[in-house]
Structure 1
Amino acid sequence: MAMARGSSGLAYPDRFYAAATYSGFDGSPTSSTKGVSSKFGSDAALLLYGLHQQATVGPCNIPKPRGWSPVEQGKWTSWNGLGNMSTMEAMRLFVKILEEEDPGWYSRVSNFIADTVEDVEVNQTKVVEPVTENGNAFHEIKSIPSENGSIVETQDKDVLLEGLGFVGVYDQWVTPEVLGQRPKARYEHGAAVVDDKMYIFGGNHNGRYLSDLQVWDLRTWNWSKIELKAGDESMESSSPVSMPPCAGHSLVPWGKTKLLVVAGHTKGSFESMQVKIVDLQTCTWSALKTYGKPPVSRGGQSVTLVGTSLVIFGGQDAKRSLLNDLHILDLETMTWDEMDTLGGPPSPRSDHTAAVHAERYLLIFGGGSHATCFNDLHVLDLQTMEWSRPIQQGEIPSPRAGHAGVTVGENWFIVGGGDNKSGVSETVVLNMSTLVWSVVTKVQGRVPLASEGLSLVLGSYNGIDILISFGGYNGRYNNEVNVLKPSHKSSIQTKIETSVPESVSAVHNATNPTRDLESELEMQEGKVREIIMDNVDSEPKRAIRQENSEDLIGLLKLEKEELEASLSTEKMQCLQLKQELADAETRNADLYKELQSVRGQLASEQSRCFKLEVDVAELRQKVQSMDALQKELELLQRQKAAASEQAALNAKRQSNSGGVWGWLAGSPPDQSDIDN
């Protein structure tokens, strides 16, 4: 057999290309071999073509095709998008994708090569004019299999019109061509998606806060502006009344027709956090009436929608004081509640990101203080309200603040940010189940994606999930839209190829040994296939190869049985651990209830003690008043006694002298008076 050689100098057997040809890809998105029709859609076929070229030829060095053919464009884009991926990695991914898409490919390829390829019927593919569906234009590709003459129509909606500037490549940022007047460049704005439309509100431009509401239609890729009027004044005047300008706020979709504008820095002097509601049907806004004690006004906080509640953490108040408090707004009762938490919370910070996993765990990543930026990860269990700081695995991101994040399933994508020196160029993703980081892609130069204060939302185009980034500041203010199509499958595990670490179980509070064994089993099966493929090099050795393959497969089956037995044991242990965990959570809940009860009793006792102290103070005051009255009474009694004695003495004198009549009668004076 002839040998093909990649850029790294490693040789690959012809079976590699035969596998690609047999599996339905010989250079076109859909093809067939004798008696075998394509088993793959356009996406998988294009990816297989790119991996095959990367493994056998090396990185793409040919120019982009000039003519607009969806097939040639797709093939070139798939190959070029792999960059400098190593040939070994490309071959491994090629085999892995074949295994996922068609588990029986290997046995059929062996027979296919043994019988040789004599007659290959190539599908005829024709491109028809663009068709329109729901206002969206795309090219329709029709495949006509030659075996039975039946026509199977497939629409490759991943390959969009060049006019929209979107390339159907996974995990690569592209800048599409947009229609309409772009919004003013800005950062620290709010963004949200409602009904296939991305809404942008507010932000900061040259130190000036903005108050406009812009909308980008994901079906037509057209920008437009919505003029809002105050809901309270809409009955009196039809003229638009803009919302107060703000920046550093959060824009949260609420239902299918409303947006919530939460917190943010404003020019006003609000002491408490403001929440405003925008009705997209009536184009009106109003202040949301809430109850309870709202948090202090702030900006740069994180706001996460969990069920029917908003969870607000951290930020920076109007006095530039950093915060790490936690508040919850119940959207059903519109009541604020400041939460008391256990464990060590994150340090005070702003411009961080937050996400929720499994409707239970709140994850906080990064952010900054006045002097530094962070790359720590904190997890809050919203049931027990306890903070933890799990160990991060994989390619841990560098410290950053002002970044943006969005979740797609259990994957948390994070874009942009800065570290007080430069913008961050990597787009990273965290698997929230395993707490393993990986890098999705990198950008070059000072571009909007390496900015602070940008926004990131999850949208959909023709049923395809896309990440949409807008705005940011990296020395200049930006108003560009960038789009990334994340891989449909578990691209994170494909890139990392690592078993779940034992220390990343903080989110679930228990390890998952079954995943370790399954991952190890997959890796060993892949290694055996590579050994088999590498041993195939010439026609005379076919019998030896087949015998070696059977021996290796037999050994693999034995090892697989042992691993399955071990796996069942580990599953039993896992169930026991889950039961113990459930019991521990029950005990913890009971203890927490008891703690709350004790706290309530303590509060009532403290209140009663305070009342007693007040009563004692009043009694002491009365006692002091009684002492003063007693002294005054004694003084009055002495004065009364002296007055009584003086009165008695005067009366005695008068009685002894006989008075005037006695003197006139000639009564002799009293002897005591003479003596005196």
Structure 2
Amino acid sequence: MDSACKRHCSELVARERSGHTAVVEENLLYVWGGYMSVSNDEILLPNNELWVYDLQQGVWNVFHMTGDAPPSMSGTCGCFLNGHMYIFGGCDDDGQTNQIYCVDLTDGKYMWKRIMHETGSAPSPRDKLSCWIYKGRIIYFGGYGHKLQTDVDSRNRNFIIDEVAWAGSDLWGWNSEVHMFDPMRVSWSEPQTYGQAPAPRAAHAGASTGSRGYIFGGRVRETRINDIHCLDLESWTWSEIIPVSTGPVGRSWHTLTTVSDSTLFLFGGLSADCKPMSDGWLFDVKTKKWREMEHPYKDKPRLWHTACPGRDSDVVVFGGSCDYILLVDTGHCNDALVFQMQPHPLFRICEDYIAKTVRSHKMLRSQLSYLPPELLTAVQRRMCFYRPSKKQKY
């Protein structure tokens, strides 16, 4: 029993980071990129490292990535589709990019592929944007980046210029553009949208249910907002949702995660008065009601973290900063916080109970060998999660 656990358990722990990419598939959390602080410097993390956390065992592994790798970046937009992790945009040592890459997470090779589109035009370089998956396509919204002056129409309301960041022929700013990438056709397009589009923004959060994509909050200029908008992904029509109850304050660098057909979960972020947040909120898209959620991580504020839907509607939050990173930038994190959104199935409750108590329960320990082989393996893997050994920082 103990030897089986030791064979599976590792003392590796992923590096602290913010502005990274993460996706969950089955019981595995995949983490790439982002940056950390060393002394007074911001260091982008290696582009050839993929960190994988087994959510059942509580064990980290790191894999070397090959292929046509993207540069080390933060603020890229990542998603999971058909066994692949896609990333678009982000900020490297030379500024924002507009390249798209993917890696197959199912074959164990972890080989990057740079995607060269065959039709359409890629969006302008940007970071801190969001995306939705719908009918096998990736739909991107917003972000902060730069355009040529000749590409900016003063009458166009989907780009707000950042007056502080002018540089030569380039204009920096926030946008509210919608772009769509089709991996099957390897094509970019820019759908015509209708209705009142949200104000341009970056560092907002997005999630989707059914055929609707939602965004909440974000930053434009020095303002952090708390509005929520919906884009119908069939008719491409925008609508603003006016909540019928008091909701979260304005913020940026937070996350929004789908937890049911009608419920979104918001966590953390940086408030309008530059306070790192640890509050969690549930939004019912049908009733338009916000409800603050009690959770065990009130002492763990996070911003520029990731949040992924996990097993049994859990939400897995990883990394981020617990400080106001524009001033302090020392509080990057490397822990995984698992938020339980609904009662767990009976099987999972039993599995967790056995894994927690078997070391101190002599009779239970002696009866483990009677379990069916598949169930015994699952329990042994789960026991690693509750092992008493202390992990060392990688």
| Distance in 2, Cα, partners of 1:331 & 1:347 | 28
Which of 244, 256, 266 aligns to 2:92? It is 266
| Distance in 1, Cα, partners of 2:293 & 2:95 | 42
Which of 276, 283, 289 aligns to 1:430? It is 283
User: Deviation at 1:131?
Assistant: 11
User: Deviation at 1:446?
Assistant: 5.6
Q: How does 1:88-103 map to 2 (within 5 A)?
A: none
Match of 1:472 in 2: 320
Q: How does 1:26-425 map to 2 (within 5 A)?
A: 179-206=10-37, 207-210=42-45, 211=47, 212-230=49-67, 243-256=70-83, 258-268=84-94, 273-280=98-105, 281=107, 282-290=109-117, 291-318=119-146, 320-358=172-210, 360-409=211-260, 410-419=262-271, 420-425=273-278
Instruction: Read off the aligned partner of 1:393 and give its amino acid letter.
Output: V
Q: Normalized against structure 1, the TM-score is what?
A: 0.42
Q: How does 1:470-509 map to 2 (within 5 A)?
A: 470-475=318-323, 476-488=331-343
Instruction: Read off the aligned partner of 1:287 and give its amino acid letter.
Output: R
Aligned residues of 2:313 and 2:342 also touching (Cα < 8 A): no
When residues 416 and 179 of structure 1 are mapped into structure 2, their CA distance, relative to the original with a 3 A threshold, is farther
When residues 404 and 274 of structure 1 are mapped into structure 2, their CA distance, relative to the original with a 3 A threshold, is same
Structure 1, residues 255-286: CA drift from partner, whole Å, max 9, x if none?
Answer: 23x21112111224676x21111123222111
Aligned residues of 1:426 and 1:443 also touching (Cα < 8 A): no
Aligned residues of 1:249 and 1:263 also touching (Cα < 8 A): yes
Aligned residues of 1:302 and 1:314 also touching (Cα < 8 A): yes
| Distance in 1, Cα, partners of 2:141 & 2:62 | 31
Aligned residues of 2:26 and 2:310 also touching (Cα < 8 A): no
When residues 451 and 434 of structure 1 are mapped into structure 2, their CA distance, relative to the original with a 3 A threshold, is same
| Distance in 1, Cα, partners of 2:178 & 2:91 | 18
More strand by proportion, 1 or 2?
2
Match of 1:670 in 2: none
Compute the RMSD of aligned alpha carbons: 2.5
| Distance in 2, Cα, partners of 1:302 & 1:311 | 8
Match of 1:62 in 2: none
Structure 1, residues 448-470: CA drift from partner, whole Å, max 9, x if none?
Answer: xx22101111222xxx4422111
User: Deviation at 1:393?
Assistant: 2.2
Aligned residues of 1:229 and 1:283 also touching (Cα < 8 A): yes
Which of 458, 465, 486 aligns to 2:309? It is 458
When residues 381 and 254 of structure 1 are mapped into structure 2, their CA distance, relative to the original with a 3 A threshold, is closer
When residues 299 and 269 of structure 1 are mapped into structure 2, their CA distance, relative to the original with a 3 A threshold, is closer
| Distance in 2, Cα, partners of 1:306 & 1:131 | 45
The answer to which structure, 1 or 2, has the higher relative contact order (CA under 8 A, 6+ apart) is 2
Aligned residues of 1:423 and 1:446 also touching (Cα < 8 A): no
Structure 1, residues 40-82: CA drift from partner, whole Å, max 9, x if none?
Answer: xxxxxxxxxxxxxxxxxxxxxxxxxxxxxxxxxxxxxxxxxxx
When residues 179 and 423 of structure 1 are mapped into structure 2, their CA distance, relative to the original with a 3 A threshold, is farther
Structure (1 or 2) with the larger CA radius of gyration: 1
| Distance in 1, Cα, partners of 2:18 & 2:81 | 23
Structure 1, residues 3-57: CA drift from partner, whole Å, max 9, x if none?
Answer: xxxxxxxxxxxxxxxxxxxxxxxxxxxxxxxxxxxxxxxxxxxxxxxxxxxxxxx
| Distance in 1, Cα, partners of 2:241 & 2:313 | 30
Match of 1:635 in 2: none
Instruction: Read off the aligned partner of 1:262 and give its amino acid letter.
Output: F
Unaligned runs of 5+ residues in structure 2 are 147-170, 324-330, 345-394
| Distance in 2, Cα, partners of 1:385 & 1:482 | 35
User: Deviation at 1:426?
Assistant: 1.2
| Distance in 2, Cα, partners of 1:383 & 1:441 | 35
Aligned with 2:177: secondary structure? strand
When residues 136 and 195 of structure 1 are mapped into structure 2, their CA distance, relative to the original with a 3 A threshold, is farther
| Distance in 1, Cα, partners of 2:223 & 2:124 | 24
Structure 1, residues 302-339: CA drift from partner, whole Å, max 9, x if none?
Answer: 01111211110000005641111111112221211112
Aligned residues of 1:315 and 1:324 also touching (Cα < 8 A): yes
User: Deviation at 1:253?
Assistant: 1.3
User: Deviation at 1:440?
Assistant: 1.0
Instruction: Read off the aligned partner of 2:318 and give its amino acid letter.
Output: F
| Distance in 1, Cα, partners of 2:111 & 2:90 | 19
Aligned with 1:322: secondary structure? strand
User: What is the number of residues matched between the two proteins?
Assistant: 300
Instruction: Read off the aligned partner of 2:91 and give its amino acid letter.
Output: H
Aligned residues of 1:277 and 1:287 also touching (Cα < 8 A): yes
| Distance in 2, Cα, partners of 1:314 & 1:131 | 50
Aligned residues of 1:375 and 1:398 also touching (Cα < 8 A): yes
When residues 369 and 328 of structure 1 are mapped into structure 2, their CA distance, relative to the original with a 3 A threshold, is same
| Distance in 2, Cα, partners of 1:423 & 1:303 | 24
| Distance in 2, Cα, partners of 1:402 & 1:217 | 26
Aligned residues of 1:200 and 1:215 also touching (Cα < 8 A): yes
| Distance in 2, Cα, partners of 1:434 & 1:445 | 26
When residues 222 and 370 of structure 1 are mapped into structure 2, their CA distance, relative to the original with a 3 A threshold, is same
When residues 444 and 287 of structure 1 are mapped into structure 2, their CA distance, relative to the original with a 3 A threshold, is closer
User: Deviation at 1:425?
Assistant: 2.3
Aligned with 2:74: secondary structure? coil
Q: How does 1:476-625 map to 2 (within 5 A)?
A: 476-488=331-343
User: Deviation at 1:431?
Assistant: 1.3
| Distance in 1, Cα, partners of 2:33 & 2:248 | 29
Aligned with 1:367: secondary structure? strand
| Distance in 1, Cα, partners of 2:239 & 2:110 | 42
More helix by proportion, 1 or 2?
1
Instruction: Read off the aligned partner of 1:293 and give its amino acid letter.
Output: S
Structure 1, residues 325-365: CA drift from partner, whole Å, max 9, x if none?
Answer: 1111122212111122122111111011112222x221111
Match of 1:503 in 2: none
Instruction: Read off the aligned partner of 2:63 and give its amino acid letter.
Output: I
State the 4+ residue runs in structure 1 displaced beyond 4 angstroms: 442-446
